[in-house]
Chain A
Amino acid sequence: MSFDYLPYMRENHLPHMWCPGCGIGVVVKSVIRSFDELGWEQKDIAFVSGIGCTSRAPGYLNVNTLHTTHGRAISFATGIKMHRPDKHVVVISGDGDATAIGGNHLIHAARRNIDITVIVNNNNIYGMTGGQYSPTTPLGAKAATAPYGNLEPSFDLAKLLIGAGASYVARGHVGNGRQLAKFIKDGFAHNGFSFIEVVSNCHTQFGRRNKMADPMNMVKWISDRATPLKKFDEMSDSEQEKHFPVGVLHKDESRPEYTDTYSNLISSLQDKA
């Protein structure tokens, strides 16, 4: 029997606002499957986002949903998680939202190792505002604000997050939903800051400007470059440049989780009283 997504959806708010073939759908499906497989109750989940196409996702899900300001989702999520450490807090964000305007919150939440999962739908572009280049737009790629090709080098988000202290970092892509769901589920289950980068397609804003207006072409472009970590590590530098590694890129279960640490502080002060 096929999986029934509808109990997790706010059916009366469909149809969704995304373009046909948008990669966000694959991400949302993976999120729902992961909620289900972990047996998380809908009332115990806060699903938080910033602003952008990706950030519209929470509105369609029947959990506690918070659509905040551009870039700031993680800070709101931090407030929720600190006040209710017993609940599940998940953030979904676009690459511009999470890593440009929201980059500061992203690295600091990772550093604290607070138990929030951040999923970044990395479509290499500012989708909602009309295709301006983002911190993950490849060098040379065309964008509304890079008509002669992007002049700026891009972030490697996974490396950035590992450097910042995230204790779970994985990268998947929209060409392999099953694998992505596994990473997301793992990230949810991990007690600490987890980060899942999803290499995704915005054929409308990125593809159209870069000879991939058809979503299938763009997903193929992504899938062809996605390489399991082990295989990627064995590649030559020039081969690596044409690919990106997917998999669980970092996992450290030894780091204390921030709200656990804070709870310990509270109990130690209570003991003294």
Chain B
Amino acid sequence: MSDANESMRDVKFWPGNVVIAEAAAAAGCDFFAGYPITPSSEIAAHMAAILPKKGGHFIQMEDEIGAMGAVIGASLAGAKALTATSGPGLSLKLENLGFGYMVEAPCVIVNVMRGGPSTGLPTHPAQADVMQARWGTHGDHPTIALVPAFHHEMYTETIRAFNLAEQLRMPVLVLIDEVLGHLSDGMVPPKPGEFEIVNRPMWDGKPEDYQPYFDDKGDVPPFLPYFEGAQWHTTGLNHDETGFPTTNPELVTKQMHRLMRKVTGNRELIDSIDYYEADDAEIGIVSFGSTARAAMVAIKKAREKGIKVGMLRPLTIWPFPNKQVEEFSKKVKALIVPEFNLGQIVYEVERSVHSDMVIKRINKVGGVPINPNEILAGIEEVA
């Protein structure tokens, strides 16, 4: 067989949800807990099929709250754990998501966004949960959220989500939308060895000396799963380095700042941006996920008309790349922010740039994605 045929065989026509499930398994995920919800359910179905074959475990819980709990429990016992859901389900997971940040349990949460609020548009896409992803759970907390836009990115970003979760000992979110989740597109999944897999830093001292939140080497304390002889205590109450509750203001302050520093202090590791036609751009677009794909088409069309447009597309939406957006804004006369909601990420863009910067919002709800011509019209307006 010729090489060309061989490589055609490697091409997979998977819906995005299956890409994510396959990528999770490739990243070493061995536990999934979920609760059915459109448009994310295929991720659960695929995990149910593949995990037991690999000796891993799948469970359909009684609700999303329980699914998030099971994921964190499994993670503390040493699993690489995943859950997937959509808007209403993410709303239910939020309290336990906060618990995950507090106890520093690595895990990955996929949210396949649909129209909201409430039951909203269960079978139609939206990008309206980006602020919920950042601020949804109560209290101050760090957040990492990745927003792939293409099938190959859903693969690589899911792996990166696991790596970041493990490396920084915290929950990491992946946000896609109904279009990406259900659209089948061709891609060649990278082979094992072609991507890096990072596992959580492990405690290598004596189990009896283990302190679950002692951080002499950095802001990410090493991990030791349950049942390894450390008998450590895990609580959602603020705690000291030994893991036991404290209300001592200094210790609580220290803990909270360290949690935040895991993200603020590791931006080089976490940040990821794709620049598209940005070098000579006079008009800038900031967009993400499936909307950014429409923006790419609009940019091509605009350039055919001689308008120099380029795009900054975050793959990591949280933490938001404020500095990079500021830099980008300095080179252009106007910024356009197309997002499939009534205006969320534009607030981050606005606070990244000079107050007299021209910023054009392009927003939409109703379940029909923003199309390239709508973005093109916006470009022509500011050109």
Binding site for B on A (CB under 8 A): 10, 13, 42-44, 46, 48, 58-59, 62-69, 72, 74-80, 82-84, 87, 104-105, 108, 262, 265-266, 269-270, 273
Chain A to chain B contacts (Cβ below 8 Å), 19 pairs: A43-B228, A63-B231, A64-B231, A66-B226, A66-B235, A69-B69, A69-B99, A75-B61, A75-B66, A78-B59, A80-B77, A80-B226, A82-B57, A83-B57, A84-B78, A104-B66, A266-B55, A269-B53, A273-B53
List chain A residues, Cβ under 8 A from B185: none
Closest chain B residue to A43 by CB distance?
Answer: B229
Chain A contact residues, majority secondary structure: helix
Question: Is residue B237 contacting chain A, with contact meaning CB distance below 8 A?
Answer: yes
Q: A84-B77, A262-B57, A269-B53 are in contact. Are A75 and B231 (CB under 8 A)?
A: no
Q: Mark B224-241, 1 if CB is under 8 A from A, else 0.
A: 001111111111110000
B208 to chain A, nearest CB (A): 10
List chain B residues, Cβ under 8 A from A48: 73
Q: A72-B96, A87-B227 are in contact. Are A80 and B74 (CB under 8 A)?
A: yes
Q: Cα distance A62–B245 when bound, in Å?
A: 15
The reply to whether B62 and A83 contact each other, CB–CB distance below 8 Å, is: no
Q: A44-B227, A46-B226, A265-B52 are in contact. Are A79 and B73 (CB under 8 A)?
A: yes
Q: Cα distance A75–B237 when bound, in Å?
A: 18
List chain B residues, Cβ under 8 A from A65: 231-234
Binding site for A on B (CB under 8 A): 30-31, 33, 52-53, 55, 57, 59, 61-63, 65-79, 81, 95-96, 99, 207, 226-237, 244-245
List chain B residues, Cβ under 8 A from A42: 231
List chain B residues, Cβ under 8 A from A266: 52, 55
List chain B residues, Cβ under 8 A from A58: 233
List chain A residues, Cβ under 8 A from B244: 13, 59
Known pairs A78-B66, A79-B74, A104-B63; list 17 more (Cβ under 8 Å): A13-B244, A43-B207, A43-B228, A43-B229, A44-B227, A59-B233, A59-B244, A63-B231, A66-B73, A66-B226, A66-B235, A67-B233, A78-B61, A79-B76, A80-B76, A262-B57, A266-B52
The reply to whether A68 and B236 contact each other, CB–CB distance below 8 Å, is: yes
B61 to chain A, nearest CB (A): 6
Closest chain B residue to A106 by CB distance?
Answer: B62
Q: A44-B227, A59-B233, A67-B236 are in contact. Are A72 and B52 (CB under 8 A)?
A: no
Closest chain A residue to B226 by CB distance?
Answer: A64
The reply to whether B96 and A79 contact each other, CB–CB distance below 8 Å, is: no
Q: Cα distance A22–B58 when bound, in Å?
A: 40
Closest chain B residue to A101 by CB distance?
Answer: B65
Q: A43-B228, A108-B62, A266-B52 are in contact. Are A76 and B72 (CB under 8 A)?
A: yes
The reply to whether A75 and B70 contact each other, CB–CB distance below 8 Å, is: yes
List chain B residues, Cβ under 8 A from A77: 73
The reply to whether B231 and A79 contact each other, CB–CB distance below 8 Å, is: no
Q: B55's contact among A59, A62, A80, A270, by CB below 8 Å, is which?
A: A270
The reply to whether B231 and A76 contact each other, CB–CB distance below 8 Å, is: no
Which 6 A/B pairs are nearest by Cβ-Cβ distance? A79-B73, A75-B69, A79-B70, A76-B73, A79-B74, A75-B66
The reply to whether B77 and A83 contact each other, CB–CB distance below 8 Å, is: yes
Q: Cα distance A10–B243 when bound, in Å?
A: 13
List chain A residues, Cβ under 8 A from B70: 75-76, 78-79, 82
List chain A residues, Cβ under 8 A from B231: 42-43, 62-65
Q: Cα distance A48–B70 when bound, in Å?
A: 12
Q: Cα distance A65–B55 when bound, in Å?
A: 26
Q: Cα distance A171–B380 when bound, in Å?
A: 75
B57 to chain A, nearest CB (A): 4
List chain A residues, Cβ under 8 A from B71: 79
The reply to whether A75 and B65 contact each other, CB–CB distance below 8 Å, is: yes
List chain B residues, Cβ under 8 A from A43: 207, 227-229, 231
List chain A residues, Cβ under 8 A from B57: 82-83, 262
List chain B residues, Cβ under 8 A from A87: 77, 226-227
List chain A residues, Cβ under 8 A from B95: 69
Q: Cα distance A64–B78 when bound, in Å?
A: 13
The reply to whether B236 and A69 contact each other, CB–CB distance below 8 Å, is: yes
The reply to whether A105 and B62 contact each other, CB–CB distance below 8 Å, is: yes
B227 to chain A, nearest CB (A): 5
List chain B residues, Cβ under 8 A from A68: 69, 72, 96, 99, 236
Closest chain A residue to B96 by CB distance?
Answer: A69
B318 to chain A, nearest CB (A): 23
List chain A residues, Cβ under 8 A from B228: 43
List chain A residues, Cβ under 8 A from B59: 78-79, 82
Closest chain B residue to A104 by CB distance?
Answer: B62
Q: Cα distance A48–B73 when bound, in Å?
A: 10
Q: A69-B95, A69-B236, A72-B96 are in contact. Are A80 and B73 (CB under 8 A)?
A: yes
B356 to chain A, nearest CB (A): 46
A167 to chain B, nearest CB (A): 18
B359 to chain A, nearest CB (A): 40
Q: Cα distance A80–B72 when bound, in Å?
A: 8
Q: Cα distance A41–B125 when bound, in Å?
A: 51
Q: Cα distance A171–B68 when bound, in Å?
A: 31
Closest chain A residue to B235 by CB distance?
Answer: A67
List chain B residues, Cβ under 8 A from A262: 52, 57
List chain A residues, Cβ under 8 A from B69: 68-69, 72, 75-76, 78-79, 105
Q: Cα distance A65–B62 when bound, in Å?
A: 24
B275 to chain A, nearest CB (A): 40
List chain B residues, Cβ under 8 A from A44: 227
List chain B residues, Cβ under 8 A from A270: 53, 55
Q: A59-B235, A69-B69 are in contact. Are A79 and B77 (CB under 8 A)?
A: yes
The reply to whether A269 and B74 contact each other, CB–CB distance below 8 Å, is: no
The reply to whether A269 and B52 contact each other, CB–CB distance below 8 Å, is: yes
The reply to whether B77 and A46 contact each other, CB–CB distance below 8 Å, is: yes
User: Quick one: which of B31, B65, B73, B78 has the most chain A CB within 10 A?
Assistant: B73
